[in-house]
Amino acid sequence: MEEFDVMVVGAGIAGVGGAYHLSSQRPDSSFVVLESQDNFGGTWWSHNYPGIRSDSDLHTYGYRFKPWTGPPIATADEILKYMGEVIDENDLGDHIRYNHKITSAKWSSEKNKWFIEATKTDTEETHYFAVNFLWMCQGYYRHSEGFTPDWPGMNEYQGQIVHTETWPKELDYADKKVIVIGSGASSATLIPAIADSCEHVTLVQRSPIYYGTGRNSDELAETLRELEVDDEWIHEIVRRKMLRDTSIFMRRTFEEPEIVKEELLTGVRDILGPDYDIDTHFTPDYRPWRQRVALVPDGDFFKSIKAGQVSVLTDEIETFTESGVLLKSGTVLEADIVVAATGFNMNVLGDINFSIDEAPLVLSDTVTYRGMMFTGVPNLLWVFGYFRGSWTLRSELLSDFVCRLLTHMKSKEAKRVDVKLRPEDEDMELLPWQDPENFNPGYLTRAMPFLPKSGVKPEWHHSQDFWEDLDEIPNIDLDGLEFVYSQD
Ligand SMILES: Cc1cc2nc3c(=O)[nH]c(=O)nc-3n(C[C@H](O)[C@H](O)[C@H](O)COP(=O)(O)OP(=O)(O)OC[C@H]3O[C@@H](n4cnc5c(N)ncnc54)[C@H](O)[C@@H]3O)c2cc1C
């Protein structure tokens, strides 16, 4: 049994950032990062479909402490290189244990510790750890499998079905007829990357989504680089500009959704031309930003459609056939490969079996404290980033919070911290974790019954607003009545 003050779960962008902040803000805390994959990177390591890239700009998705010097939208390889530099430059490598899949976490109130079991994915051995604080940077979806609907006739199909999340590296799609099912950032990224090689690609989508079609470059960053301004300055200035631009855009989607909608559709129309049926294929029936807007840098996805390499059908799968799919409209499509770009299965707390003093943890019975801690679950912080903004913006705010909380506990000689509803919160109406009217992708809807409850008061609400978090999280009163500490 190895002992540490803190265990970070996961070496994705949140976990590596957490390790950096912990080692710089709390150099005396001992910590270990356990990662079930065989490398760091999380999302950027597990996904390897052609063309994979970010849809946030890297000035805000990158860390605040390490300048991003490339184009705003980055490939997985570029993000991995950046993260690798963070690990090397800050000597974090020795803290990270790869191939360690955490299977169970048991809290003991007697010992004030989490007892962790991790299975080595390469040798099947079990390793045991005891830690005082668990920092959950497990991301939000299961890396081992994507979500594939159970379509009728799938077993009859003689071709190959693959999911974007588990793309076989050796998949040969050259000169093949390919159907991609599902609209979203993944399909819009994948399609232009394979369209040149394939005989033809058909995107079958149930309903349209919004796309942004800007250039993958930032004028201000380019000018500052021409002026030979330091990378640190450029990163900070462009980061602030990106934050301001995103916040203006988000506000406009609420205040003038029709104008924003028209702007987005004009970007698409400019590439596809006036004769393309944009109403059917690219005009969603919801206001922009209710679901993430998929960025298509330099309009590459639409250029593949314009070039005739890609067709789009807004329709539904009736059934698979031996040689392809039959759509509800009666259209029959032949395909050598069918790609499911149909989303995720949510991974709630890393698919770890949690128990508190021998009782299994039922997360849906808890209430979330600002989307980062849960009532009845001591010494644990959960990182869940922004649906619409860059994930890292929130993960870094939470990194500062964990470090501040640990310092506060040390000053009080506390071994345990819980969050608890205050007397004035007892009658508060409890709501689902997120408001489905505000954001409603499939993975979230499917997982909602397993997620914690929230309340209407800011303390018990999981904000998805960076500016609100920026105001509130650094100023949380750690001696407020919602925090309960114990020295024993
Ligand atoms: C293709 C794609 C593109 C995306 N682009 C963007 C974008 O541009 N901007 C944005 O903000 N978001 C984007 N996202 C969302 C993205 O998941 C988050 O931005 C971010 O990568 C999450 O980082 P993370 O470190 O919290 O989680 P992850 O990247 O999911 O990493 C979590 C790590 O924890 C490990 N782990 C989980 N459970 C356990 C366990 N039980 N034991 C040990 N290890 C465990 C996993 O193996 C994984 O490596 C994208 C997602 C995808 C799939």
Q: Supply the pTM of this predicted model.
A: 0.94
Question: Does residue 442 surpass a pLDDT of 90?
Answer: no
Mean pLDDT of 206-229: 94
Question: Does residue 436 surpass a pLDDT of 80?
Answer: no
Residue nearest atom 16 in ligand 1 by C-alpha distance: 43
Query: Does residue 374 sit in the same domain as residue 439?
Result: yes
Q: Which of 13, 35, 39, 43 to mutate to test the pocket of ligand 1 (most atoms within 8 A of CB)?
A: 43
Query: Does residue 369 sit in the same domain as residue 458?
Result: yes
d(CA 39, CA 16): 11
Q: What is the pLDDT of residue 270?
A: 95
Task: Tell me which residue of 344, 349, 354, 316 sits closest to 108, measured CA to CA.
Answer: 354
Question: Does residue 440 surpass a pLDDT of 70?
Answer: no
Tens digit of pLDDT for each residue in 26-54? Answer: 999 999 999 999 999 999 999 999 999 99
Question: Does residue 420 surpass a pLDDT of 80?
Answer: yes
Query: Does residue 194 sit in the same domain as residue 120?
Result: no
Tens digit of pLDDT for each residue in 110-148? Answer: 999 999 999 999 999 999 999 999 999 999 998 888 999
Residue nearest atom 21 in ligand 1 by C-alpha distance: 43
Report the domain count for the chain. Answer: 2
Query: Does residue 294 sit in the same domain as residue 166?
Result: yes
Question: Among residues 317, 342, 367, which one ends one of the domains?
Answer: 342
Residue nearest atom 52 in ligand 1 by C-alpha distance: 43
d(CA 483, CA 288): 38
Q: What is the helix (H) or strand (E) element at residue 265, kind and residue range?
A: helix 257-272
Query: Does residue 80 sit in the same domain as residue 105?
Result: yes
Query: Does residue 301 sit in the same domain as residue 312?
Result: yes
Q: What is the pLDDT of residue 293?
A: 85
Q: Which domain holds residue 194?
A: 148-220+256-342
What tokens does 231 get? 């990378």
Task: Tell me which residue of 451, 435, 462 sits closest to 369, measured CA to CA.
Answer: 462
300 in Cβ contact with 190 (< 8 Å)? no
CATH of the domain at 38: 3.50.50.60
How many angstroms separate the first and last alpha carbons of the chain? Answer: 22
Question: Does residue 308 surpass a pLDDT of 90?
Answer: yes
Tens digit of pLDDT for each residue in 168-185? Answer: 989 999 999 999 999 888
d(CA 78, CA 96): 21
Lowest-confidence region among 74-88, 259-273, 318-332, 434-448: 434-448
Q: What is the pLDDT of residue 344?
A: 85
Mean pLDDT of 236-261: 93
Mean pLDDT of 199-216: 94
- Ligand 1 centroid to 389 CA: how many Å? 14
Question: Which is higher by pLDDT, 435 or 127?
Answer: 127
Question: Does residue 287 surpass a pLDDT of 90?
Answer: no
Query: Does residue 316 sit in the same domain as residue 370?
Result: no
Q: Write down the mean pLDDT value for the chain.
A: 94
Ligand 1 neighbours (beta carbon < 6 A): 9-15, 34-37, 42-43, 47, 52, 54-56, 61, 101-102, 137-139, 143, 186, 350-352, 383, 385, 390-391
Q: Is residue 11 part of a domain?
A: yes
Query: Does residue 297 sit in the same domain as residue 438?
Result: no
Mean pLDDT of 386-391: 87
Q: Could you tell me what percent of the chain has a pLDDT over 90?
A: 85
Mean pLDDT of 69-81: 96
